[in-house]
Amino acid sequence: MTGMGKLFIVIGVVFIIIGLLWGIFGRLPGDISFKKGNVSFHFPIMTSIVVSIILSVILFIIGKFR
């Protein structure tokens, strides 16, 4: 398998992990939601922070093995 193929597999796995985490965490306390009339706005700031920390740890561990 070429380097590009491995890269696409890693990117795919990362997206799967992000999708699973997003489904698990959903709406955490600290996420900002506004609803006024028929307009709603949701900004998942706390979810983004948690996902960022988890991905940083995963990539740090992967980097240690390279």
| pLDDT averaged over 10-residue windows placed end to end, the chain, 66 residues | 79 83 71 88 82 86 82
At 38 the pLDDT is 92
Task: Judge whether 10 and 3 are in contact, CB under 8 Å.
Answer: no
At 25 the pLDDT is 65
Cα–Cα distance, 60 to 12 (Å, whole number)? 18
CB atoms within 10 A of CB 15: 10
Residue 52 sits in which domain range? 22-66
Does residue 15 sit within a domain?
no
For the chain, how many structural domains are there in total?
1
Q: DSSP label at 31?
A: B
Q: DSSP label at 29?
A: B
Does residue 41 sit within a domain?
yes
Does residue 54 sit within a domain?
yes
Does residue 16 sit within a domain?
no
pTM of the model as a whole:
0.54
